[in-house]
Amino acid sequence: MSRRVVVLGAGHGGGEVVAALRAGGFDGPLTLVGDEATPPYQRPPLSKSFLLGASPADELLARPRSFYEQQQVDLVLGRRVDHVDTTARTVQVGDESVPYDVLVLALGGRPRMLADPAAAKADNLHQVKTHADVERLRDRLAPGTRVGVVGGGFVGLEVAASARKRGAEVTVLELAPRLLGRVCSEVVAEHVASLHGARGVDVRTGVTGLHLVTGDDGRIARVATDQGIVEVDEVVVGIGMTPETGPAEQAGLAVDDGILVDADYRTSAPDVFAIGDCARVLRPDGSTLRLESAPHAASSARRVAAVILGRETPPDAAPWFWSHQFEVKIQMAGDPSARVSRWVTRGDMAGGSFLTFGIVEDRIVRIEAVDRPAEFAQTKSWLDRPIPSVIDRLADESYSIRQLFARP
């Protein structure tokens, strides 16, 4: 008796669930439903290598199209699912009612949009979610194209860097007093700001009164702010994401800025799971955490696959994230909402190769690295462990990271 597993959402997490189930020996019927026309693909490169180059979209595919046929995954693309019935255990796909025994919601999120009325209509306003979005932006970028980027978070800054590398004139407009406010330390944010400045991006922070001014042709001609007016050819909005919870709400599942799940990603309905960006996980201390990252989409997918298979679940790795801007590699690990009491920095900030550790008492709760991938990876597994003897030596480069963290 093989149960039927239906996965809603053919993004990074959805693709990983079906792969992990088949890799783990699941031989039951498996359906993957997605609203884009493309099988699961990598989104992180969209604002980086994909925006920079002319590589075909198929290079981003997580797995080749033939994989789904070979693995007998019923791939239903270009369809939105708006109706889930957790009593009848069915989802409505077009005019077909598809039964499930186990349902996995891998719905991801939607980019937030400016409340400005001009935003809805303008043809030169872009968001970055799908490869179609990025292809459209890429086609408009030429040397000298004036690009206004609203939002100084990772997506905005990656777009800014890629557009600048393609010769565009780029202005970044951030409402907060500094870049990357919600996601990283001041040390790294300052470094990123100076990196962009040095490469000719006009970075403005603490911007207020931002509004879009439309020309006679309906396109946005300029972005007006308290810090002056920016003439633009294209506008990119990267101001965060809203988790996609529609089908869960409609089905009556518990939702609170994300679909509420336990440590095994189980929702409030039996045999319904939610993973990746759309899930908000309840932690042992009673707090909840929602993570927007590809590694989390993959690790939550693998965990749910193990739960469905009745296997031992893999340990949850620490949350982590990376960004590439210009030629610089930035990596972060740890709960981004953790309250850090002090930062300890190791390495050469002026030379652009350093790590900074967010410390609470005798623990590292955050690690951020600029062009230090090996030390980043070596220290990541020590997050949240008490290491009193090491904390004060972190900044001392006469000790290697391997020496500092040598197991007793």
Partner 1 sequence: MTTVEFEQPDGSVTTVEAADGESIMRTALSNLVPGIVADCGGELSCATCHVIVSDAWVGIAGPPSGFEDEMLDATSEEREPGSRLSCQVVVSPVLDGVRVRVPASQW
Position among 44, 151, 152, 319 found at the interface with partner 1 (CB under 8 A): 44
Question: How near is the Cβ of 11 to partner 1 at its closest, in Å?
Answer: 12
User: Quick check: 331 binds partner 1 (CB under 8 A)?
Assistant: yes
Residue 8 CB, nearest approach to partner 1 (Å): 22
Of the ranges 217-225, 229-237, 248-256, 369-377, which one interacts with partner 1 (CB under 8 A)? 369-377
The answer to whether 22 contacts partner 1 (rule: CB under 8 A) is yes
* Residue the block writes with tokens 């708006």: 82
Collapse the DSSP code of 340 into the 3-class scheme (helix H, G, I; strand E, B; otherwise coil) and give the result. Answer: coil
Name which of 139, 221, 121, 239 is nearest 182 in CA terms: 239
Which range in 109-117, 120-128, 251-259, 323-331 contacts partner 1 by CB under 8 A?
A: 323-331
- Residue carrying structure tokens 């603490």: 206
User: Applying CB under 8 A, which of residues 376, 390, 391, 394 lies at the interface with partner 1?
Assistant: 376
Q: What is the total count of residues that contact partner 1 (CB under 8 A)?
A: 30
How many Å apart are CA 20 and CA 34, to the nearest integer? 18
Shortest Å, Cβ 295 to partner 1: 5
Supply the minimum distance, in Å, between the C-beta of residue 9 and partner 1: 17
> Is residue 298 near partner 1 by the rule CB under 8 A?
yes
Q: Of 213, 378, 393, 399, which lies in the binding site for partner 1, with binding defined by CB under 8 A?
A: 378
26/36 Cα distance (integer angstroms): 26
DSSP label at residue 278 = G
Quick check: helix, strand or coil at residue 16? helix
Q: Closest Cα partner for 273 from 310, 308, 243?
A: 308
Regarding 23 and contact with partner 1 (CB under 8 A), the answer is yes
Q: Nearer Cβ to partner 1, position 44 or 109?
A: 44
- By C-beta, is 56 or 94 nearer to partner 1? 56
CA 298 to chain centre: 11
Residue with tokens 């008796």: 1
CB of 331 within 8 A of CB of 46? no
Q: Does 373 bind partner 1 (CB under 8 A)?
A: yes
Q: Which stretch binds partner 1 (CB under 8 A): 44-52, 72-80, 177-185, 336-344?
A: 44-52
Question: Interface mask (CB under 8 A) for partner 1, residues 48-87, using x and -?
Answer: xx------------xxx--x---x----------------
Interface stretch with partner 1, choices 91-99, 187-195, 304-312, 315-323 (CB under 8 A): 315-323
Q: Is 317 in the site for partner 1 (CB under 8 A)?
A: yes
Indicate the length of the chain as a whole number: 408
Q: How far apart are CA 351 and CA 348, in angstroms?
A: 5
Q: Which is nearer to partner 1, 48 or 191 (CB)?
A: 48
- 201 belongs to the binding site for partner 1 (CB under 8 A): no
Question: Three-state SS for 341?
Answer: coil
Judged by CB under 8 A, which of 171, 188, 375, 394 binds partner 1?
A: 375
Looking at the DSSP bridge assignments, the partners of residue 357 are: 344, 367
Classify strands 279-282 and 259-261 as parallel, antiparallel or unpaired: parallel
Amino acid at 307: V
3-state secondary structure 38-74: CCCECCHHHHCHHHHCCCCHHHHECCCHHHHHHCCEE
How far is residue 310's CA from residue 207's CA, in Å, rounded to a whole number? Answer: 52
Q: Of the ranges 27-35, 141-149, 171-179, 294-302, which one interacts with partner 1 (CB under 8 A)?
A: 294-302
Binding footprint of partner 1 on the chain (CB under 8 A): 19, 22-23, 42, 44-45, 48-49, 62-64, 67, 71, 294-295, 298-299, 317, 320, 322, 324, 329, 331, 373-378, 381
